[in-house]
Structures are given as structure tokens and as C-alpha cells.
Amino acid sequence: MENPIRNIAYDALVIGAGIAGGETALNLANTGYKVLLVDRELSVGGKMIMLSKVFPTLDCAACITTPKVSEISRHPNITIFTGSEVSKIRKVSDNEFVALVTKQPRYVHIEDCTACQLCEKACPVNVRDQYQFGLIGRKAAFIPFSICSPKAAAIDIDNCTLCGACEKVCPTNCIDFTMEVETMELHVKTIVVATGFNLFNAEKMPRYGFGKYKNVITAQQMERELAPTRPFNTILRPGDGKVPDKIAYVLCVGSRDASIGNPVCSQICCMYSIKQAQLLMGSLPMADVTIYYINIRSFGKGFEEFYQQAKGMGVNFVKGKIGRISEKENGNLILRYEDINEGKLQEAEHDMVILSTGVLPNTGIDKLFENQKLQLDQFSFIGQSDMLASPAKTSIEGVFVAGTATGPMDIPDSILSAGSASSEAISYLIQHP
């Protein structure tokens, strides 16, 4: 089958459909510009759509994200490519970039899928669900998660046995294994990079035992355990299904640590850990929650009050640096730490440990530009050429940046940054019609 290459023109290309990319696309679309929103995941919404609640208000994250995602998905000026990646960008004139986009086959015609989940029920395969961070299984024919957008099934072709059971039960015949990779050449006038961040891989710090000790999990995994669409019926240890009652948080895992190459403060891990600690105390009222920290950085509006509220609820804060975690036979964990206030080495036993992993740059975006140089900052986040006056400007005229692609920040700051990027892009489009 021939690989189709289409020539399509848009006013703006937004790379990354998280909260910053989505907000940027909406602002541009509402001003009347045609926007192409590209994301490599199967759903728009980025990392925010997977959260349980947001800090410091404890508002439901899905209740904030879902209407926004729905607005993005239904906007007549926004075209969304999920499961797609930009592979090359070339600037051909002041108001024209040519971008090569590769769209992976979903093997489902989104417009025909009713999300009835009959294919999911019929599929015999079970693999680890990446949207629940491996805590539970999913089928090879699957709806990524309950509030995903587009709400449509997808086929995990790497794990599919091609039995055809999904096709047989599909009432709309929307499953199509003849789909192939599509490569599209797009002509756009401006580009906004909103590629977000990566979280530190805790396996790179073996002394914490992540991956080896099953009751050491990441805060992202705990976020799923706390969400309404959680993997288990309640909060459980993934090691043996015990309801935990002595839980520890270890802050600054893979951040503020030059020895592992990331000296940057993640800005969000103190507050998301405090948020989770409060939610845990709501879910498990009898549990003891301890947060091991170096410094609590409660710098934003309402953050210090949120921290004090956690203390008032009974969350135990220990100023201590964890040296090593070891496991007992019953799955409990021994934390050996330096008590910074006392200047002593101490040990404490917990039955579950949550690692609050740091924020890392999403690298590789600068390699996409063929005839221009996208400058990065010293930490490999996208460089802001005029940080104070025009924070969305990059080293390439006509290319702007939004959200955590520029560095760690929380959700309100990401949305603010998206506002700045869309304003700059609109201004550029007016000046370069």
C-alpha cells in the first residue's frame, strides 16, 4: 500500500497537547486561526489529565481538564493528531515552516468508534497498562483511560495476537488493521513548542530500591491510586495488596542533586507530595504519613497555608536526607537517613515508600529544526531569548515556547505561559500575514 504524503496548510502548529499546548491552541483558535495540535500520546490532556486533584485548592483535576479538553476537541479551528510526532521542521521563509509529521496507525477509525468497550471485553490479551503506570493490566484493544479524548479505542499492535475477536464484536466496524503509518508535510506560519517535561527515572538511584522493592513506588503511581479511576479498590501496596498504615514520602528524588546531573529544583514535588499526603489521610484516616524533605519550598499563592494545613492534619515532616532504603522479609522498608536538625543518622520503618521524582527536560526537540538552531538553556530546557519582556520567544523567529518546556512550573504558571505564547504567536501572525 502506498504511503500517502499530504500537503496541508495551517496558521499554527502546536507541538504537545498537554495543558499548556491545549490552552495555546484554544487561544489561537478562538482568535480565528487554524491550528494543528500534535501529540504523541493517544489522548490530549498531557500529564494533568492523569492527576487526582490539584494543589493547593484540592479541586478535582479531571473536573478542570475535561471541559477544556472537550472544548479543544470540538473546536472547528483545531485539528488534532494524536499518536503523532513531528520528525522534521524547516523554515522556508519569514512566515512559512514546513513540518514533517508522522502519524502512527491507531487501527481504529476514531469518528466511527462509540467507545462501547465491546472490543476491550472480547480481547484475550493482558499487558501492563501504561496509563496506570504498570500497576494493573489492560487489553491490547483498549480505551486509553476513561476520560481520554478522543474517546475511542486503540489497538496495541505490538501485543495484539491478531485474533480478530475485537473486529467480530465491533458494532460499527471501526477497527481496521489495514491502517498504515502516514507521513504528512505541513505548511505552517508559526510554531508553538509545548512538549512538557519528563519525570526522573527512579531506577537510576538504586539505593532507593525502586523496581527492586515492590512497595517503593513513584508519586505518579500514587497519584493513580488516589484518582477516582484508580487501579485498585482502595490504596494498596503493589507488593502484596496490604492496606498501608505507615507511609513515607522521599522528596527531591532526582532533583536538586548535581551528582545525578539535575541540580534544578522541580518546584512542584514538595506541593504534590503534601497534596497526596492530605488525600491519603482522607482515604486512610488511621495511617501515619511522614514526609522526608531537605527544604519545603512553599512559594506560591496559598502554598504555605497548604503546608501548614497538612501539618495540622497530622502529617509528620522530617528534615532528613535519605541515604538508603532496604527491605524486610515482610515487605516493609527501612529508611536510613540523616536527621538534618539533630545531625544524626537515624533509621525508620515504613510499609510503603513514595518517591517524589523530579522534573527533567523533554529532550530532542531542538534536533527537529533542520536549518535553524533552537537554543537550549544550561539545563537543556528550551531557552527563552527574552525571558523578562517576551518569555515565549525562542532563538528562532516565529517559534514560541509554552509551559514546562521552558523549565519546571506548576499548572497555573503553565497556563499563564500558554497565554504568553499564544499572544506572541498571534502578534507574529498579524505581522507576517
Partner 1 sequence: MEVEKGKTAKYLREKLGGIPEQAKENLKQFNGIKKIMVDALKEQDLTVKQMSEKINMPTDEVMFYLMSLVKYGIVVTGEIDDMDEYYTYKLNK
Q: Site residues (CB under 8 A) for partner 1? A: 1, 121, 124-128, 135-138, 140, 158-164, 166-168, 170, 173, 175-178, 214, 231-233, 236, 238-243, 286, 331
Q: Which is nearer to partner 1, 92 or 162 (CB)?
A: 162
Task: Please choose, from the candidates 200, 205, 207, 218, the residue with its C-alpha nearest in 3D space to the C-alpha of residue 335.
Answer: 207
| C-alpha torsion 253→255→259→262, nearest 10 | 140
Separation of alpha carbons 253 and 268, rounded Å: 12
Closest distance between partner 1 and the C-beta of residue 240, in Å? 4
Q: Which is nearer to partner 1, 174 or 411 (CB)?
A: 174
Beta bridge partners of 292: 250, 318
Half-sphere exposure of 63 (CA within 13 A, CB side): 9
Half-sphere exposure of 58 (CA within 13 A, CB side): 15
Closest distance between partner 1 and the C-beta of residue 152, in Å? 17
Closest distance between partner 1 and the C-beta of residue 217, in Å? 11
Residues with Cβ within 8 Å of 111's Cβ and at least 6 positions away in sequence, in order, are none
Q: Is the dihedral of CA 53, 54, 59, 62 positive or negative?
A: negative
Q: Which is nearer to partner 1, 213 or 428 (CB)?
A: 213
SS3 track for 17-36: CCHHHHHHHHHHHHCCCCEE
**Segment (H or E) for 189:** strand 182-193
Closest distance between partner 1 and the C-beta of residue 117, in Å? 11
Would you tell me how many other CB atoms lie within 10 Å of the CB of residue 131? 21
Q: Which is nearer to partner 1, 312 or 329 (CB)?
A: 329
Burial class of 30 by CB neighbour count within 10 A (0 to 12, 13 to 18, 19+): middle
Helix pair 19-30, 61-74: axis angle to 10 deg: 40
Closest distance between partner 1 and the C-beta of residue 237, in Å? 8
Cβ proximity of 422 and 401 under 8 Å = no
Closest distance between partner 1 and the C-beta of residue 157, in Å? 8
Closest distance between partner 1 and the C-beta of residue 67, in Å? 27
Cβ proximity of 263 and 381 under 8 Å = no
Separation of alpha carbons 220 and 42, rounded Å: 19
Peptide bond into 105 cis (omega under 30): no
Closest distance between partner 1 and the C-beta of residue 144, in Å? 14
Peptide bond into 76 cis (omega under 30): no
Q: Which is nearer to partner 1, 286 or 389 (CB)?
A: 286
Q: Which is nearer to partner 1, 5 or 162 (CB)?
A: 162
Closest distance between partner 1 and the C-beta of residue 316, in Å? 21
Closest distance between partner 1 and the C-beta of residue 385, in Å? 47
Q: Where are the alpha helices (DSSP H) in 80-142?
A: 118-122
